Amino acid sequence: MKKLALLFVILVLLAGGAAALLYTRVHQPYRGYPVPEQFVDIPSGVGTKAIGDRLVAAGVIRDAVTYRTALWMSGQAKHLKAGEYRFAEPATPLEVIGKIARGDVYVVMVTFPEGLTITEMAKIFEAKGFGPAARFVEASADISLIHDLDPDGHDLEGYLFPETYALPRHTDASKLIRQMVDRFDHVFSPAMRAAAEARGLSVRQVVTLASLVEKETARPEERRVVAAVYENRLRIRMGLQCDPTVIYALQRAGKYTGNLHHDDLAFDSPYNTYRYPGLPPGPIASPGKASLEAAADPADADYLYFVSRNDGSHEFARTLDEHNRNVQKYQVQYFREKRIHEKEGLR
């Protein structure tokens, strides 16, 4: 009897010791991977055992027993979420499980500013490590994505909404393109579409107009006024004479050097609004929400001209005489004085 009692005491002590060890490990930060950061991908539909196996194999949790104990203690067994998770610092098994239960997946924040072309967006896609820029350009040729928006569309220029996207590391170009078009479809609200339709503009026309507004001004208070200038010119069949359309035409032809010259205004392209009347064939960039709103609902203004004040703002005019005076003041005289000051600074 004494031997049995002693054996029982030993078993109790061993069990207590094991429990104490497990308790310590569940609450002890652990980092068993030699690399600076470790990624663990949890596919959709896998069970808790498979998740544990991946975490242990990656060195994020010490062993399967510790994982099962932590999972039981956490009560989160039914809440673990699929996705890719990043680990870079020692973490307790409870913290690891908590992260997966919250769905705190690793994402790359990618910002596409307003006013970019597909080619310029593709460079950002590549710079963020998602793949070659050519793959993004190729995916953007899928016009089926805008069939309901623009049945006559021949590319996705203007329909890739500029925004900051939170993307998994392995997001492919096609998936991102679909996401950007879906975002455009959401932002381009029924109210905007109704306003454009009331003005006799198709979706493609209003998006094209919005892209001109986006390229001409970044001032919120000017967008609707710039849209009014172009709408007024369209109404009286006056050439839009929009410099950004010439730049876009040159870019498409691979002939833009970074500066627009007077001779470039004669470049033969349907996008050149100095040579061809009306709107260009399609958008020349991706407009943001504010420019889309401005194009759908321009200001009630009778201006026909505007010129840069060289500080990001513009001076608007109703007549050509008034516009010529503004050009003299803000372009000819301004740059003449600037050159004089630069010469004096060199003395």
pLDDT category of residue 186 using cuts at 50, 70 and 90: very high
Say if residue 120's pLDDT is above 90.
yes
Residue (of 248, 285, 282) closest to 153 by Cα position: 282
Q: From CA 79, how far away is CA 103, in angstroms rounded? A: 9
Q: From CA 162, how far away is CA 68, in angstroms rounded? A: 44
CB 167 within 8 A of CB 108: yes
Percent of the chain with pLDDT over 70: 90
pLDDT tens digits, one per residue of 270-280: 999 999 999 99
pLDDT tens digits, one per residue of 55-83: 999 999 999 999 999 999 999 999 999 99
Q: How far is CA 235 from CA 52, 228, 307, in A?
A: 67, 10, 20
- pLDDT value of residue 341: 63
Say if residue 14's pLDDT is above 70.
no
pLDDT category of residue 344 using cuts at 50, 70 and 90: low
CB 271 within 8 A of CB 249: yes
Question: Over the chain, what is the mean pLDDT?
Answer: 91
Instruction: Please provide the DSSP assignment of 192-205 as one string.
Output: HHHHHHHTT--HHH
- pLDDT value of residue 12: 41
Say if residue 261's pLDDT is above 70.
yes
Which domains are seen in the chain, by residue range?
24-102 (3.30.1490.480), 107-187 (3.30.1490)
- pLDDT value of residue 346: 54
- Of the candidate ranges 15-24, 152-161, 163-172, 242-251, the one whose mean pLDDT is the lowest: 15-24
Residue 243 DSSP SS3 = helix
pTM, to two decimals: 0.83
- pLDDT value of residue 336: 72
